């Protein structure tokens, strides 16, 4: 296991930003390294550490603005700065820093990380990409909303009323809202009990510590999307992904089938696994089964 910092030059910043990373496994073998892209934006790498069960070299990192990497709270609300291109450039920079540009690599993205993985996979930078995993993610924000709205409609009316009132007043604080969003999370973020599982707690704690990227790019609430990703779609570009691609979601997932379907429809060499009795953190809810699916795909 090795930890390090990759300097990342960002236009407009006086000093290079720092991308914190951690590697597991032996990179001197012929095994293909798997680079892990966390969700959020802002959930950080910790919640994906169950992937260390995989028998492959692994690279985890915290994306800029988050976790153990450079924080830029003064950029909160700056939609021009917090662009998808920024995070694609950071990934390119990290791959170069680790000396992985000239060898095959695999990419794993969860939730927002899956969006970023797909965005990167359609660029010329991905010429050394061997396999791609898009997990519990979305092909467009419009299809994501359809899925999330359907989940919300199935909530008890007393919970829906609190969530609707929060959106109406744009006040996402207070005991009533916190209880309502926790009810939603327990159904669709993770089914692991006792609640919260350590991985869930880690992600939620990072959001609470610094919400800069999440609030700017996604919004003030999981169910209220106002950030600069609000009209995002990768669907017109998906045909460019030619590598074998594994798609994963679950029956109780925030990432409902409607938002995963375009990946399956447009990536020719794709395999879609729909897990049962699991939610958005499928890798936590059904850890052993999940790892088996990923491991067998990477062999």
**189-231 per-position pLDDT tens digit:** 999 999 999 999 999 999 999 999 999 999 999 999 999 999 9
> What's the confidence (pLDDT) of residue 284?
99
Counting residues of the chain whose pLDDT is more than 90, the rounded percentage is 99
Rounded to an integer, what distance in angstroms lies between the CA atom of residue 149 and that of residue 131? 32
* Catalytic residue from among 38, 280, 283, 293: 280
In the residue annotation, 111 being an active-site residue is answered as yes
> What's the confidence (pLDDT) of residue 238?
99
**65-82 per-position pLDDT tens digit:** 999 999 999 999 999 999
Nearest residue to 93 via CA among 8, 11, 18, 34: 8
The pTM for the full model equals 0.98
In the residue annotation, 282 being an active-site residue is answered as no
Choosing among 1.10.510.10, 3.40.50.2300, 3.40.50.1820, 3.40.50.300, the CATH entry for 2-143+228-298 is 3.40.50.1820
* Catalytic residue from among 69, 111, 190, 270: 111
> What's the confidence (pLDDT) of residue 285?
99
**229-265 per-position pLDDT tens digit:** 999 999 999 999 999 999 999 999 999 999 999 999 9
* Catalytic residue from among 62, 106, 210, 253: 253
**105-121 per-position pLDDT tens digit:** 999 999 999 999 999 99
Domain ranges of the chain: 2-143+228-298
How sure is the predictor about 98, in pLDDT bands with cuts at 50, 70 and 90?
A: very high
Task: Estimate to the nearest angstrom the gap between the alpha carbon of 263 and the chain centroid.
Answer: 15
What number is the average pLDDT over the span 173-188? 98
> What's the confidence (pLDDT) of residue 262?
99
Angle at 122 between CA 130 and CA 137, to 5 degrees: 85
Whole-angstrom CA distances from 297 to 12, 28, 146, 248 are 41, 21, 29, 12
């Amino acid at each position: 296991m090795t930890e390090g910092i990759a300097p990342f030059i960002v236009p407009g910043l006086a000093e290079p930003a720092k991308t914190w990373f951690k590697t597991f496994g032996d990179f001197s073998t012929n095994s293909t390294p798997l680079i892990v892209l966390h969700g959020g934006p802002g959930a950080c790498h910790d919640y994906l550490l169950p992937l260390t069960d995989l028998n492959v070299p692994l690279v985890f990192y915290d994306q800029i603005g988050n976790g153990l990497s450079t924080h830029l709270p003064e950029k909160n609300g700056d939609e021009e700065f917090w662009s998808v291109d920024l995070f694609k450039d950071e990934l390119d920079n990290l791959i170069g820093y680790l000396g992985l540009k000239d060898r095959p690599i695999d990419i794993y993205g969860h939730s927002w990380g899956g969006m970023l993985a797909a965005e990167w996979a359609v660029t010329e930078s991905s010429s050394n990409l061997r396999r791609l995993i898009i997990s519990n993610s979305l092909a467009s924000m419009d299809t994501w909303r359809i899925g999330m709205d359907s989940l919300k409609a199935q909530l008890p009316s007393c919970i829906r009323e609190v969530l609707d009132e929060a959106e109406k007043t744009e006040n996402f604080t207070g005991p009533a809202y916190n209880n309502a969003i926790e009810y939603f999370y327990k159904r669709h973020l993770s089914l692991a009990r006792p609640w919260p599982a350590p991985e869930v707690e880690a992600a939620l704690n990072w959001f609470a510590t610094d919400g800069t990227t999440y609030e700017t790019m996604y919004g003030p609430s999981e169910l209220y999307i106002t950030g600069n990703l609000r009209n995002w779609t990768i669907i017109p570009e998906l045909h460019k992904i030619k590598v074998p691609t594994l798609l994963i979601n679950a029956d109780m997932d925030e990432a409902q089938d409607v938002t995963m379907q375009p990946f399956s429809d447009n990536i020719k060499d794709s395999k879609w696994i729909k897990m049962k009795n699991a939610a958005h953190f499928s890798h936590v809810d059904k850890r052993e089964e999940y790892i088996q699916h990923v491991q067998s795909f990477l062999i």
